[in-house]
Amino acid sequence: MVITPKIACNTCDTKHLLKVTVGREDKQNHIFPCTECEEEIEFGLESLFSRGQYRYIRNCRADNFDYSEAIQVHLNPDFGTSHKIVQAGDIFTAVMSNCLEMQRMDALLRKEQNEGIIEHRANYENYNSEAMRFYLKICSLLSKNKNELANSYIEKNKTNFDEKTGETYNYYFEKLLNHLLGSYGLELLNAITEEKNKAGDISTLIDFNTTQSIDNLESIEEFIGLFSEFSQVFTYLNKGIEISDSVKPTSTDFNRTKKYYSSAYETLAKMLFIPAGLNNAIERGDPHRFEKIDSLGKFISNGNGDKLRCIKDNINLNKISSCYDNHLRNASFHSHMKYNPKKAKISFNQNNGTPISITYKEYLVMCIKVTEAIAALNLFSLKHLQPVQIKPDQI
């Protein structure tokens, strides 16, 4: 559905007819330049699932005019169509641009190299965060031992989700993780699994894993809580489709997302004993044996910045390095990143003082990829690092 708020720029009074695709999130924000003076306008929607409210956040106000009087600005919370500008009176382009982008995405998804993610999405389909929020709620209730309430919640949502009641926490958590997993996370999970098959005896890694708190539900809750900021990029990455460089996400509340990367980075760092242990088992026959230290316990107590050094020569395990950036983590954690909204660019200095500039889209990609890596390692743990349960009749 496309709605049509009428606004005017507070700086130059230029009228704009917004054509905003509603999507399936309860809230969305958009930032775009005025079509006349180019000063930024920030407009938002809230409570879309109830009464619905327009938010004139910055440099704009409600106005009243005929549809044919004003330049149109098309905004979409889900697709990277950016702030497409269309001449006054055009009644087709907003819907048509959405349809064309969906067709383009479908064509790219069907390319041969995306067959793995096609199968994965067929089993764990996402339309934005709906399915993820469903399984997150179940996991949250079960983690608080509210089993009856979790079952009631599942029954209440039977129309949308044909899910079983009475299963274990891990059953629902695995489904949540699979919905989070996009092409990068799936590639990483498959690569780590391939290395596990070369590792021989990993019983001591399994034992060590049982001593670690690794479900990371809080980190996933934080990501989904910020989903309206990630949704435009997530739609593409979750299906294995990159957004073209010419597109800028229009949901750009950097104040909400600037701390997320450092938070997710720290969560991922706590799980890096998994690829490190696999590499040790492959190279030295013992998950605990490093070149210079003799236990995974000592490894996890070391600084996070150098944790990938031990797997740098293993191509499969080192795939995780593409989302694990200590320079970006430090800039995010210490609030040293500066955001230029007009250029949609983030600038910061690396640890050695070298200046770096990335687009806001690139930052969102890193946030999503580090979240997928968390999901991938959790899935690996659930599938391959759980102690063998001995049944009474086997004793």
% pLDDT > 70, the chain: 86
The confidence score (pLDDT) of residue 31 equals: 83
Beta-carbon contacts of residue 254 (< 8 Å; ≥ 6 apart): 339, 341, 346, 360
* Of 216, 231, 29, nearest in space to 129 by CA: 231
CA-closest candidate to residue 131, choices 186, 176, 79 = 176
Q: How many Å apart are CA 219 and CA 224, to the nearest integer?
A: 9
**273 pLDDT tier (thresholds 50, 70, 90):** very high
Whether the pLDDT of residue 391 is over 60: the answer is no
Q: What is the pLDDT of residue 92?
A: 67
pLDDT at 127: 66
Average pLDDT over every residue of 249-268: 84
- Residue bearing the bigger pLDDT, 319 or 74: 319
Residue 80 has pLDDT above 70, yes or no: no
> pLDDT tens across 39-52, in order?
889 898 887 777 77
Residue 91: what pLDDT? 63
DSSP for 317-376, please give it: GGGGGGG--HHHHHHHHTT--EEETTTTEEEEE-TTS-EEEEEHHHHHHHHHHHHHHHHH
pLDDT confidence tier of residue 35, bands split at 50, 70 and 90: confident
Q: What is the pLDDT of residue 313?
A: 95
